[in-house]
Amino acid sequence: MRVLRAAGRTATAWSNGGGVTREIAAAPPGAGWDTFDWRVSLAEVGRDGPYSALPGVDRVLTVADGAGLELTVDGTRHVLPGPYRPFAFPGDAPTGCRLLDGPVVNFNVMLRRGRSAATVEMARGNHVAEPRPRHAGDAPGERRTRLVVALSGRTRLSGPDLGRTLTLERHDAALMPADAGVSLHADGVTAVVTLTVRTAAPGARTV
């Protein structure tokens, strides 16, 4: 298991000046935009504007802080009022963003289409993330990873595979194999993302 503290993240400014992004984790580690299997980040959005096109990438966006936003995806409007409601859309579709009432922080999960998939859950209070061991129906080389991110408040993790109780402060994260079960107690809201890499790129490593 890896603990990923929020204090160690670097902010990357958007090319259009509309906000900054902080990467939480990616596979393979350190992969660029053209080579990641999956990428999870937090983005601070300060103004309206278009999203960059991401060919071959599917996205799951969750407002984590702020009043919400309106996305226009391929000409269709989708209102995301308030936080903690995951919304999936294709990253290569023309997408524009309009803030409903001031800046927001978005929790972003990006998935290389055909290579990776994810489930994104918002956990409150006591929650058990069940182990997801491999089984006979899994594709050869398929690997699952679980990422836990404290979106608000404090989250305490425990479980037989952890060996101790781990505390995550706001925006801290823990990355672990999905075959390890973990119990959560969240003062606020915690994102539990189970990621599956179906086919790794030649020579690439997965977390």
Per-residue model confidence as pLDDT tens digits over 94-115: 999 999 999 999 999 999 999 9
Quick check: do 2-112 and 116-197 share a fold? Answer: yes
Comparing 88 with 16, the larger pLDDT belongs to: 88
The percent of residues in the chain predicted with pLDDT above 90, rounded, is: 72
Torsion of CA 91, 96, 100, 106, to 10 degrees: 30
* pLDDT top residue among 201 and 3: 3
The structural domains of the chain, with segments of one domain joined by +, span 2-112, 116-197
Mean pLDDT of the chain: 89
CATH class given for the domain over 116-197: mainly beta
Provide the CATH topology of domain 2-112. Jelly Rolls (2.60.120)
Kindly report the pTM of this predicted structure. 0.90
pLDDT of residue 135: 55
- Over residues 34-54, the pLDDT tens digits come to 899 999 999 999 999 999 899
What is the full DSSP assignment across 103-170? -EEEEEEEEETTTEEEEEEEEEEEEEE------TTSPTT-EEEEEEEE-SS-EEEE-TTTSS-EEE-T
* Average pLDDT score over residue span 134-158: 83
